[in-house]
Structure 1
Amino acid sequence: MRPRRVVSAVPAVLLVAGCQGGHGDGAPAGGTTAAPAVSAEASAQVLDAYVRRYNKAVTAGDTTAWRALGADAIDATAEAALRRGGGRPPRLGAISLRNPVMYVPRLRGLPRWFAVSALERRGRAERPIFAVFAEETARSGWRLASQVYFTGRPPRIATDAQGYAEAVDPGSAASATAPAALPAAHAAYLDRGDEHALHAGAADREWRQAEARQEKQLRAHGVIVSGRSAPTGYPIYALRTTDGGAIVTYSLRRTTTYTAAGSGDVTAVPADVRAYLHGRTGHRVTATWVWRAVAYLPVRGAASVLIEDLDLASARVS
């Protein structure tokens, strides 16, 4: 069956899903039989509601709308953004989403989720995004679980005869590495440069280089830097690709401690950490960032990070 176009407030929605079945907006996915995570109409409503809430948050400074946007890794950094902004969401222009393409899997029960690629327009600028929306419980509503900006085209996502995408069990051993192992593999690269199980992306390499420069600069200020990366424990979302591999969306957490040695000055920490602390200082500052990443996991060989982003989640002084 051909993909279905849906008329909604989000223009030109292309749903990679069949025309029959699917849950209505807010209807729980019960039982043990796999069913489409969301209907065509409901998926368009999810995107429309997200755009409305986001625009209300960033143009009107609505903190309630801001807090209602995200789940998982997005939610983990939402409060930090408010704190850095003096209690207001980031002051950004309104967005619209053009030509969204939905990747809707068949799932058993809750949580439900689906992925979407689209062009995000802000003013005259457009950027491609890849996002996952999730409904964790029957009462939680649909929220943005992950969003990253990308360049180029990821491997093609496979669909069944009705046009639905195929969800991959995070614990599946169909590939050399299970999707569930990718956050730890990514953390191993950030900590040690280990690429045995995962080929890092350009942003990872730039981050490691920048962190090495920062550590050198901070040592000159009498500050010792130590850090550790680890999986967040948030859900991992994986979809089958046409070559039998998978596109995997996951997250990880990086915690860095800045300790003043002798007359060291811990005010010389990254700008986003200083903004979060609003001038507070002490002997030690501990900051945590959350990474959102999308990787390609082939049938054979190591996974490759395709796109990623990170935001500050918290900071504290001791």
Structure 2
Amino acid sequence: MAKLEHGLALEMTRAGFKTAEMEKKSLASGIWPNPQMWIPRHVNGTADWFVAVSYEPGVARVVDVMSSAPGGWRLVASAADTRATPARFPKIATDAEGYATSLPENATGLSATPRQIARAHLASLENAEVDAQFDEGPWTSEAALFWQQERAQLRQADWKLTLSYRLEGPVRALRTSDGGALVWYGARSTEVREAEREGATVRLKGSAAVRTRGKAFAHSVSATYGRMYVTYVPPAGSNEPARVLGEWSDVLESHGD
């Protein structure tokens, strides 16, 4: 995989293989159909990169970011929308020669800079609070509500939940035709559950449960995930909220006692 991916993406894929091995399953694989690509011009001092978008009805819309590296091109970010009807995807702006326009992470002229929007999104997840500057959806309001409910259930069993979402890697952005931007960013999140009294035990869910072999924990348990997002940021002056358009997540490690 090191010949295909780099950074957090590589770490997440390797973790996915580990989880599948423990489940005695194989990971889905195949070629995504009819990819469309947008290539920004070279910017001195930064690695070249491009975006590929592929949509297979009834399966997913996948948005990949490829970056140049000494050994060739590597996947460095990805996000998917697997809903039956994916959210509307904005048009990426191109110049007269067909190049996309990359934006720095502190670009102005948007409702928030790319880095600000990434940090605000992660803060809303870490705090389990709905942020009105984002549209409702599975990776914003629904995720915040999930954590609120999880915290309340744990509190009833005398357990506490601590969340941490940390931005990892560069924030990349492309201009959209309406003056907004598409922004890609990754994060490392950790959820820690700790018992406040003897008695109740907890089990993790999903892939984190696989990594702990479904064990029940009496004192504490934590799970760390790699997460990647693609988010549309409207232009400055717009009343439209930012829209998170896809996610990729994989449990990296999980343990407790």
The TM-score range, normalised by the shorter chain, is 0.7 to 0.9
Contact 1:183/1:252 (8 A) holds in 2: no
Partner SS state of residue 214, structure 1: helix
Shift of 1:102: 0.5
- Of 73, 86, 93, the match for 1:142: 73
Q: Deviations over 1:202-227 (max 9, x none)?
A: 33222222223333333444432121
Distance 1:128 1:105, change over 3 A: same
- State the match for 1:39 in structure 2: none
Contact 2:79/2:228 (8 A) holds in 1: yes
Distance 1:195 1:143, change over 3 A: same
Uncovered stretches (5+) of structure 2, i.e. residues with no partner: none
Shift of 1:266: 4.6
Query: Distance in 2 between the 1:304 and 1:126 partners?
Result: 20
Structure with a larger share of its residues in helix: 1
- Of 245, 250, 255, the match for 2:190: 255
Shift of 1:267: 4.1
TM-score (norm 2): 0.82
- State the match for 1:240 in structure 2: 175
- Of 22, 26, 40, the match for 1:105: 40
- State the match for 2:102 in structure 1: 167
- State the match for 2:207 in structure 1: 272
Larger radius of gyration: 1
Partner SS state of residue 132, structure 1: strand
Matches within 5 A, 1:153-164: 153-164=88-99
Over the aligned positions, Cα root-mean-square deviation in angstroms equals 2.7
Q: Work out the percentage of aligned pairs sharing the same amino acid.
A: 26
Q: Deviations over 1:84-119 (max 9, x none)?
A: 234699613431221111100102254221001113
Query: Distance in 1 between the 2:152 and 2:117 partners?
Result: 30
146-155 vs 97-106, which deviates more? 146-155
- State the match for 1:214 in structure 2: 150
Partner SS state of residue 107, structure 2: coil
Shift of 1:247: 0.9
- State the match for 1:185 in structure 2: 120
- State the match for 1:128 in structure 2: 61
Uncovered stretches (5+) of structure 1, i.e. residues with no partner: 1-64
User: Letter of the aligned partner of 1:129 in structure 2?
Assistant: V
Contact 1:221/1:268 (8 A) holds in 2: no
User: Letter of the aligned partner of 1:127 in structure 2?
Assistant: A
Query: Distance in 2 between the 1:213 and 1:197 partners?
Result: 22
- Of 85, 95, 99, the match for 2:30: 95
Query: Distance in 1 between the 2:17 and 2:31 partners?
Result: 22
Shift of 1:317: 2.6
Shift of 1:281: 4.9
Partner SS state of residue 217, structure 1: helix
Partner SS state of residue 275, structure 1: helix
Distance 1:281 1:142, change over 3 A: farther
User: Letter of the aligned partner of 2:229 in structure 1?
Assistant: A
2:7 aligned with 1:75, yes or no?
Answer: no
How many aligned positions are there?
247
- State the match for 2:245 in structure 1: 306
